[in-house]
Structure formats: C-alpha cells, structure tokens
C-alpha cells in the first residue's frame, strides 16, 4: 500500500500530524493508497520553503524557466502510460480518456507556458512630448493553486505551469480525492532538477490545507478551480487580505439545438458533451434545448445512441463511461435523478446505478441518464449535478431559449448548433456565458481566455491572461 508524501523544499516529507487519509479506487470501491492528512503546519513549512526559493527563481531569465518547464513537459510525455493509469485508477475515468485527454493536456500546459514566457512583452506609453511610461510585470511571490478531482493533472498543471513560468514559487494542493498524479508530478519535478522550494505540494482535506492556503497572509494570490460554494469560502478568507483571486467555479451549461443544425454532428457531439468523463467536466452540456420541429427526431436518435454507451471497467478499452469519482458523489447524482422524478420528469434511459460483475462489482457506476418533461426553472435544471445526467427541453424561438439558457445562477460555457450565421451570432452574444462553442464542443485553443460569469467564477485563465494574473504590474514614468 503506497503512502503519498508532501513535496516541500524539494523533498518528500510526511505530514507533521502523522495522520493519513484513505484513498479509494472508485472502480472497485477499495482503498489503494494513503494521502497525508496535512494541516496549516505543513502549509506553513511549504510557504517558508517557497519564500526562501522566490528571490533566486524570480531572478532567473525567462529562458532558464522555460527550459525547466519544457523538461517537465517532456518527462510527462515519457511517463504518460504510468500517469494515465494512475489517473484512471484514482478517478475512475476510462484509461483511454486519461491517455487521450488528461495526460497529453498536462504536458501541453507545461509546453505552452514554457514557450509563452519567451514571447511575453510589456507595454510602453509615450506621453507626447513630455514623458515615456513603461510597464513592468513582476512575479507576485508565493502563490496558491488549488484544484478539483474531475481532471486532476490537467487542471493542476493549468495553474502551476503559468505560475512558475511567470517567476512565482507555488504552494499547491490537489484534490484529496485524486492526489496520485500530483504526487507523480512531484517525482517528475525532482527528476527535472527544479530548484528546491520552487514548487511545493501539500496533500489533504480542503477545510484544512485549502483553507490554510486561503488564509495564509504570505500567499497574496490564489488560483482556484472547484465548486462555487468552496469558491465563496476562499473569497471570504482572501478578501480581507486583499488577495488576488482567480476562481473557476461550477456550471450548468446549455446545449442549444436549432432545427436547421447539421443533425448528425449535433447528435454525435451532444452524446460526447453530455457523458464524457461520466459528465464530470465543468464544460459538459447538461441542459439540452431542442427546437420543436426536430424535438422528437433528435430525442429518439440521442436516446438510441446513449443506450449504446458501455458503462464498464475503466481499464477496458471499450468502456465509454467508467466509475463516478466517489460513493458520496454517486449518491448525490442518484439523488438528483430521484428529485427529477419528483419534479415531474420522465427518465427516457438510464436512471439507476450499474452493478458490474467481477473486479468492479463494488465500484461506483451509474447509467448515462436522459430526462424530459421538466420545467427549465426546476431544481434539476437549475442546480449543478456534475454527473451523467442530462435533460431535454423543447423550445420555439431564439428569445425563449435565450431566456431558458440564462435562467441559472451559472455562466460557464454554452454550445449552439445552427447553420444560420445570424442566429449563431445573435444567440452567442446574448448568452450569459464566458465561453460559447458554435457547432463544436471542447475545441480548445490554449491562447483563448477561459472562465465563467455569474456564479461560475471570477477572472480568466489561459494564454497571456494567466501570465497577467500571476504577475503584478508596475508602471514607470520617465520625464523626457
Ligand atoms: P470542491 O470545491 O469540493 O474542491 C475543489 C478543491 O478545493 C479541492 O482540492 C478541495 O480539497 C478544496 N477545498 C475544499 N474546501 C476548501 C476550503 N474551505 N478552502 C480551500 N480549498 C478547499 O470541488 P470538487 O468537488 O473537487 O470539483 C467539482 C467542482 O469543480 C464542480 O462544481 C465543477 O463545476 C467545478 N469545476 C470547475 C471548472 C472550471 O474551470 N470552471 C473546472 C473543473 C471543475
């Protein structure tokens, strides 16, 4: 049984409390490793190491930092099979998905910011005829990075890479539910020769380690991805200390299908955007709105294809859906299916947990579930479920569907399916959403701003936005 360690000051260390948390493989429902039950004392050690490392790391050239990041990217590629297996075991996601999506993207994050830092430039403003201003962008110091369980290494590195590239030292906390690939990343950082204290990883519960990062006065900036309720706690802790915050929070994304869409592309992609990673991607479209003339046709074909999806052992290549991340989360998703029935919904397919035979007989599996007949304003259609459950709702006009789509407290992403350019632009502009995909889903360009509006978050990640977040601007004015 493996005991994961914290990574502090370039070394692996046990939690000061000596306590550990059970780490469960959700596909088999059994403990397979232990995670440090760290607390504010371990965070204080990590902050001290990061503070000590900061002056030297901040003084390195962009070329030197780039070389470290590219080395880490290349080692992630080298160990991609091992990392993908660890991600699948920890999270329950299909191994194929971990290989094709999660690990490749983690390497790409380091590669992207390792090269982006070489292309950064700063502004200057000529105040004719008396002065010239130029703007310096300096690293902030010790920054906190806190990430969730759904795309563990993918989202963890999406924060760490720009923070390091910009010259900061990092105290990071992966989700206690999926800590394994973060632990393997610390091994990679040691192999890459990253100077000690530049990156520190503290494992443990959110209310202990996460809260200690949020409250620590020596961490002036925090990049967080997770639930909206947790984001509020971090904002509450950080606001009196005037911390810089980037908050990527929950979603309840609309997927809007107009009658004139390319039907085949819309159905095929909607199956993916509903159930990839068991529906546990913040960008999954959980509310599908279909224009009335094609409602029945779309519904029948969508349900037919969903019934063909195989829920199975994540390690088998033909499994489309693996396990839900934890028993607690499985129970939450199933409780929303019960709620949907109470609210008058009809389950068209799915609706139950899945009992597999053999190795995975005690795993946490749920059928992909499609529900119709609900009001767009009921709880099932307003609250984030974050699982393999979608609803179908008919609509008549653009105005009506915009009203439905914008009715939730969230505003992360949206998808629109239409062949009419005017409809596409009009609806995209009217949606309260940080990201809109037209005739596609999850087509990512890492240079674009990523983030949500309303209760889906604050600030933007991606491209130079993240490098700006992780730096402090200073304007210098010279009188000519
Ligand atoms: P969560 O909020 O429960 O946990 C996220 C992280 O915060 C974990 O590391 C957790 O330990 C930590 N945490 C918990 N309490 C804390 C506290 N008091 N202070 C500081 N940190 C604390 O979220 P989750 O269940 O791990 O992930 C699912 C959620 O993440 C969903 O709501 C999903 O929409 C959201 N998400 C958003 C995005 C995005 O880009 N907007 C991406 C992925 C997931």
- pLDDT tens per residue across span 399-454: 999 999 999 999 999 999 999 999 999 999 999 999 999 999 999 999 999 999 99
Model confidence at 270: pLDDT above 90:
yes
Taking the CA of residue 228 as reference, the ligand 1 atom at the shortest distance is 32
Question: pLDDT for 303-338, tens place per residue?
Answer: 999 999 999 999 999 999 999 999 999 999 999 999
Mean pLDDT of the chain: 98
The Cβ of residue 100 has, within 10 Å, a number of other Cβ atoms equal to: 12
Segment 143-172 shows an average pLDDT of 98
Segment 1-28 shows an average pLDDT of 97
Model confidence at 124: pLDDT above 90:
yes
pLDDT of residue 144: 98
What is the CA(120)–ligand 1 centre distance, in A?
A: 30
Taking the CA of residue 237 as reference, the ligand 1 atom at the shortest distance is 19
Mutate to test the pocket of ligand 1, among 37, 154, 203, 206 (most ligand atoms within 8 A of CB): 206
What is the CATH architecture assignment of 254-446? 3-Layer(aba) Sandwich (3.40)
What is the CA(149)–ligand 1 centre distance, in A?
A: 7
Predicted confidence band at 218 (pLDDT cuts at 50, 70, 90)? very high
Distance, CA of 209 to chain centre: 19
**Whether 86 contacts 32, CB under 8 Å:** no
Taking the CA of residue 226 as reference, the ligand 1 atom at the shortest distance is 30
Model confidence, pTM: 0.98
Question: pLDDT for 368-400, tens place per residue?
Answer: 999 999 999 999 999 999 999 999 999 999 999
Catalytic residue among 87, 96, 248, 398: 248
Question: pLDDT for 28-45, tens place per residue?
Answer: 999 999 999 999 999 999
Query: Looking at the DSSP assignment, which residues form a beta bridge with residue 171?
Result: 144, 200
Active-site residue, 360 included = no
What is the CA(477)–ligand 1 centre distance, in A?
A: 42
Catalytic residue among 282, 301, 372, 465: 282
Residue 26 backbone zone (phi > 0: left; psi -120 to 50: alpha; other: beta): alpha
Fold classified for 2-249+456-479 = Aldehyde Dehydrogenase; Chain A, domain 1 (3.40.605)
pLDDT above 70 coverage of the chain, percent: 100
Mutate to test the pocket of ligand 1, among 226, 246, 277, 326 (most ligand atoms within 8 A of CB): 226
Query: What CA dihedral angle connects 389, 348, 315 and 160, to 10 degrees?
Result: -20
**Residue owning the nearest CA to atom 39 of ligand 1:** 248
C-alpha–C-alpha distance, residues 429 and 426, integer Å: 5
Task: Starting at the earlier edge strand, list the strands of the sheet with 285-291.
Answer: 346-349, 369-372, 389-395, 285-291, 253-257, 413-417, 435-438
DSSP state of 311: B
Tell me where in the chain the CATH 3.40.605.10 domain(s) lie. Answer: 2-249+456-479
C-alpha–C-alpha distance, residues 236 and 342, integer Å: 35
Distance, CA of 182 to chain centre: 14
Element (H, E) at 344: none
Mutate to test the pocket of ligand 1, among 92, 148, 173, 280 (most ligand atoms within 8 A of CB): 148
Tell me where in the chain the CATH 3.40.309.10 domain(s) lie. Answer: 254-446
What is the CA(210)–ligand 1 centre distance, in A?
A: 10
Burial of residue 70 (CB within 10 Å: 0-12, 13-18, 19+) is: middle
Helices (H), 320-420: 327-342, 379-382, 398-405
Model confidence at 1: pLDDT above 90:
no
Q: Where are the beta strands (DSSP E) in 162-205?
A: 169-173, 199-201
Taking the CA of residue 173 as reference, the ligand 1 atom at the shortest distance is 9
| Cα 57 to Cα 9, 68, 164, 310, 440, distances in angstroms | 13, 11, 9, 48, 41
Return the structure tokens found at 235: 């904002």
pLDDT of residue 292: 98
What is the CA(283)–ligand 1 centre distance, in A?
A: 14
Question: pLDDT for 36-88, tens place per residue?
Answer: 999 999 999 999 999 999 999 999 999 999 999 999 999 999 999 999 999 99
C-alpha–C-alpha distance, residues 420 and 480, integer Å: 55
pLDDT above 90 coverage of the chain, percent: 100
What is the CA(265)–ligand 1 centre distance, in A?
A: 32
Q: DSSP labels for 44-89?
A: HHHHHHHHHHHHHHHHS-HHHHHHHHHHHHHHHHHTHHHHHHHHHH
Segment 450-475 shows an average pLDDT of 97
The Cβ of residue 116 has, within 10 Å, a number of other Cβ atoms equal to: 22
What is the CA(150)–ligand 1 centre distance, in A?
A: 9
Ligand 1: residues with CB < 6 A are 146-150, 155, 173, 175-176, 206-207, 210-211, 214, 225-227, 230, 233-234, 248-251, 282, 384, 386, 412, 452, 456-457
C-alpha–C-alpha distance, residues 154 and 215, integer Å: 25
Preceding omega of 102 cis (within 30 degrees of 0): no
Active-site residue, 282 included = yes
């Amino acid at each position: 049984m493996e005991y994961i360690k914290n990574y502090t000051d370039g070394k692996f260390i046990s939690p000061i409390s000596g306590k550990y948390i059970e780490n469960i493989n959700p596909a088999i429902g059994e403990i397979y490793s232990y995670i440090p039950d760290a607390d504010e004392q371990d965070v204080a050690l990590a902050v001290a190491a990061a503070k000590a490392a900061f002056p030297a790391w901040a003084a390195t050239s962009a070329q030197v930092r780039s070389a470290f990041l590219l080395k880490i990217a290349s080692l992630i590629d080298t160990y991609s099979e091992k990392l993908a297996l660890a991600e699948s075991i920890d999270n329950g996601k299909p191994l194929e998905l971990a290989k094709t999506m999660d690990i490749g993207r983690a390497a790409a994050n380091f590669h992207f910011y390792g090269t982006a830092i070489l292309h950064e430039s700063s502004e200057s403003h000529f105040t004719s005829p008396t002065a010239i201003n130029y703007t310096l962008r300096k690293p902030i110091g010790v920054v906190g990075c806190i990430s969730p369980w759904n795309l563990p290494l993918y989202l963890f590195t999406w924060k760490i890479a720009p923070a390091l590239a910009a010259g900061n030292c990092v105290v990071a906390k992966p989700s206690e539910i999926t800590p394994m690939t973060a632990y393997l990343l610390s091994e990679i950082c040691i192999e890459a020769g990253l100077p000690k204290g530049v990156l520190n990883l503290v494992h443990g519960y959110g209310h202990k380690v996460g809260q200690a990062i949020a409250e620590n006065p020596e961490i002036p900036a925090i990049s967080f991805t997770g639930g909206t309720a947790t984001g509020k706690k971090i904002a509450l802790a950080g606001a009196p200390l005037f911390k810089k915050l980037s908050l990527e929070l929950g979603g309840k994304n609309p997927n809007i299908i107009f009658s004139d869409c390319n039907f085949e592309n819309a159905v095929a992609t909607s199956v993916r955007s509903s159930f990839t990673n068991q529906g546990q991607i913040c960008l999954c479209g959980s509310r599908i709105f279909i224009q009335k003339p094609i409602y029945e046709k779309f519904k029948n074909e969508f349900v037919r294809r969903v019934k063909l999806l195989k829920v199975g052992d994540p390690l088998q290549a033909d499994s489309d859906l693996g396990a839900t991340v934890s028993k607690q989360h499985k129970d939450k998703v199933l409780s929303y299916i019960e709620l949907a029935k109470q609210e008058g919904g009809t389950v068209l397919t799915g609706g139950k947990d899945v009992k597999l035979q053999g190795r995975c007989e005690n795993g946490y599996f749920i059928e992909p579930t499609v529900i119709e007949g609900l009001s767009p304003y009921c709880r099932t259609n307003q609250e984030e479920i974050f699982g393999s459950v979608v609803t179908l709702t008919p609509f008549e006009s653009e105005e009506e569907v915009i009203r439905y789509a914008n009715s939730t407290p969230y505003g992360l992403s949206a998808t629109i399916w239409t062949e009419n350019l005017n409809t596409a632009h009009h609806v995209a502009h009217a949606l309260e959403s940080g990201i809109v995909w037209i005739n596609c889903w999850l087509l990512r360009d890492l240079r674009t701003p990523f983030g949500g509006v309303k209760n889906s978050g604050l600030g933007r990640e991606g491209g130079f936005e993240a490098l700006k977040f992780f730096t402090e601007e200073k304007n210098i004015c010279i009188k000519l």
